[in-house]
């Protein structure tokens, strides 16, 4: 064992994580290794007891059982073809507007966000369905890429969200309350995106031409039926999951199981369910769930060593000493999360930062639920801020090469949406009831 000061250990561990991630090694390996090495240096062999108790106690948390269930639900829903049906219906209704297809993309992203909750699935689905339709009708490549990235990433905020399921146990906050708290901020962001698309396309009509009238000349009754039949299945799924949570019928884990069953029944109803789909869904669920829980286990080990070394006290004192009082400290935490989002996966940020900063929240005088949701809204930007920008890379990979869309086009297109997320954060800061009102109405 070495006699290391808690200040030195704090710098060593945080700098080690950032440096390790920049090397390109897997996040779980980096975090777990740093926790193990520093733990042996600080505590000797007794670190094994610390790590065992920390990892076992948290990974077996009942709330985390919802992770594979929600992942299964999202993947099964992706394979059911609901997104394509929605796009066909909204395409006819909104194609006559300037920017109508871009607006359709944001709206589908919002609807699917309340059903899927997996960024890779949402963004890829939108990119495959919407970008070819927009570019072949003369849409600006940056605008097309931007709306896909922004609309697709709403799924990590609007419940049921895997991020919220993971965040709850870390901060000792009810996952159900997090779900309800995320609804209005998610819809605020969606509304900001829609307003931006409409205003910009009105000012620069050459960016997003209207769809030719012959392509959307469908009888009113037929297009109404198309819209209703494409909206009912997602509505049934959302109510089956979030309705039972809101009315106190079941907690999130049981609601996730119901959602997985309903998604499977929808795939069956659309005649998309077969052995191959079931096999692929189960395999992808296993892979994604394993990745989440492996990072969780490594992060629990890291934070166990970090907090037992007294580093949490160092961070707390540093935050409380920030100029500007509580709001200065809050802005500093938001800025740190934003910067980390450029380099570290959202799971790493939550698993590392949340257990460290959560104990500071009462000292700052902020509502823990409001504070948690502000971090979650902030992390929306991490999917669109290079170099570690999942949404940009998913979009680029899904777009057919013959369409000529580059990574630069997508980066240029997401910048306005990153700014709109900052606007959303400001609105939630000025009007905290945007976050707190709906959870206060929950039954049970």
* Global pTM value: 0.85
Average pLDDT over residues 160-174: 87
pLDDT band (50, 70, 90) for residue 420: very high
CB 284 within 8 A of CB 291: no
Range of weakest confidence among 14-28, 185-199, 328-342, 372-386: 14-28
Peptide bond into 143 cis (omega under 30): no
Average pLDDT over residues 301-316: 83
Average pLDDT over residues 65-77: 85
Whether 419 shows a pLDDT value over 90: the answer reads yes
Share above pLDDT 70 across residues of the chain, in percent, rounded to a whole number: 98
Whether 385 shows a pLDDT value over 80: the answer reads yes
More confident of the two residues 106 and 232: 106
State the CB neighbour count (10 A cutoff) for residue 359: 15
Q: What is the pLDDT of residue 33?
A: 87
CB 355 within 8 A of CB 303: yes
More confident of the two residues 347 and 38: 38
Structure tokens at 79: 């394979």
CB 92 within 8 A of CB 226: yes
Q: What is the pLDDT of residue 292?
A: 80
Q: What is the pLDDT of residue 71?
A: 85
Q: What is the pLDDT of residue 444?
A: 56
pLDDT band (50, 70, 90) for residue 430: very high
Whether 418 shows a pLDDT value over 90: the answer reads yes
Tokens 């709306």, residue located = 147
CB 230 within 8 A of CB 89: yes
> From CA 231, how far away is CA 111, in angstroms rounded?
9
CB 5 within 8 A of CB 326: no
Q: What is the pLDDT of residue 218?
A: 82
- DSSP for 57-93 reads HHHT-GGGGHHHHHHHHHHHHHHTTHHHHHHHHHHHH
Whether 183 shows a pLDDT value over 80: the answer reads yes
User: What is the distance in angstroms between the CA of the first residue and the CA of the last residue of the chain?
Assistant: 49
Residues near 224 by Cβ (< 8 Å), separated by ≥ 6?
A: none
pLDDT tens digit string along 87-133?
Answer: 888 888 888 888 899 999 999 889 888 777 677 778 888 888 889 88
pLDDT band (50, 70, 90) for residue 1: low
pLDDT tens digit string along 2-15?
Answer: 677 888 888 888 88
More confident of the two residues 438 and 83: 438
Task: Sketch the domain layout of the chain as residue ranges.
Answer: 61-273+310-440
Residues near 297 by Cβ (< 8 Å), separated by ≥ 6?
A: 28, 32, 55, 58, 59
Structure tokens at 64: 């985390």
Average pLDDT over residues 30-57: 80
User: How crowded is the C-beta side of 322, counted as CA atoms within 13 Å?
Assistant: 22
Q: What is the pLDDT of residue 428?
A: 96
Rg (CA), the chain: 22
Average pLDDT over residues 210-228: 82
């Amino acid at each position: 064992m070495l006699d290391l000061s808690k200040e030195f250990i704090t710098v060593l561990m945080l700098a080690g994580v950032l440096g390790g991630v920049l090397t390109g090694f897997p996040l779980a390996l980096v975090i777990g290794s740093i926790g193990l090495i520093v733990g042996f240096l600080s505590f000797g062999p007794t670190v094994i007891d610390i790590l065992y108790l920390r990892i076992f106690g948290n990974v077996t948390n009942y709330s985390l059982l919802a992770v594979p269930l929600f992942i299964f639900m999202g993947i099964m829903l992706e394979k059911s073809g609901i997104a394509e049906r929605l796009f066909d219906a909204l395409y006819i209704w909104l194609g006559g507007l300037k920017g109508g297809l871009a607006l359709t993309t944001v709206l589908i992203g919002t609807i699917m966000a309340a059903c899927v909750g997996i960024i890779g699935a949402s963004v890829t689905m939108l990119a495959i369905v919407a970008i070819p339709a927009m570019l072949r009708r003369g849409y600006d490549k940056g605008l097309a890429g931007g709306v896909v990235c922004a609309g697709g990433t709403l799924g990590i905020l609007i419940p049921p969200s895997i991020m919220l399921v993971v965040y709850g146990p870390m901060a000792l906050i009810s996952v159900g309350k997090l779900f309800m708290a995320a609804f209005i901020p998610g819809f605020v962001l969606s509304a900001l995106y829609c307003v931006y698309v409409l205003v910009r396309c009105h000012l620069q009509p050459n960016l997003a031409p209207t769809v030719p009238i012959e392509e959307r000349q469908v009888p009113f009754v037929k297009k109404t039926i198309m819209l209703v039949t494409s909206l009912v299945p997602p509505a049934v799924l959302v109510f089956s999951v979030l309705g039972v949570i809101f009315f106190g019928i079941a907690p999130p884990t049981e609601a996730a199981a119901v959602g997985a069953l309903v998604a499977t029944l929808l795939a069956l109803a659309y005649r998309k369910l077969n052995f191959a789909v079931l096999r692929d869904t189960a395999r992808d669920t296993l892979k994604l769930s394993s990745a989440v829980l492996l990072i969780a286990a490594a992060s629990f080990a890291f934070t166990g060593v970090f907090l037992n070394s007294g580093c949490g006290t160092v961070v707390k004192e540093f935050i409380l000493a920030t100029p500007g009082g509580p709001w200065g400290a809050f802005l500093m935490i938001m800025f740190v999360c934003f910067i980390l989002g450029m380099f570290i996966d959202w799971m790493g940020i939550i698993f590392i930062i949340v257990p460290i900063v959560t104990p500071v929240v009462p000292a700052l005088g902020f509502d823990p639920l409001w504070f948690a949701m502000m971090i979650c809204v902030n992390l929306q930007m991490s999917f669109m801020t290079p170099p570690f920008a999942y949404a940009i890379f998913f979009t680029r990979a899904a777009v057919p090469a013959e369409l000529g869309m580059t990574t630069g086009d997508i980066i240029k297109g997401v910048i306005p949406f990153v700014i709109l997320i900052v606007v959303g954060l400001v609105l939630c800061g000025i009007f905290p009831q945007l976050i707190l009102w709906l959870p206060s109405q929950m039954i049970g």
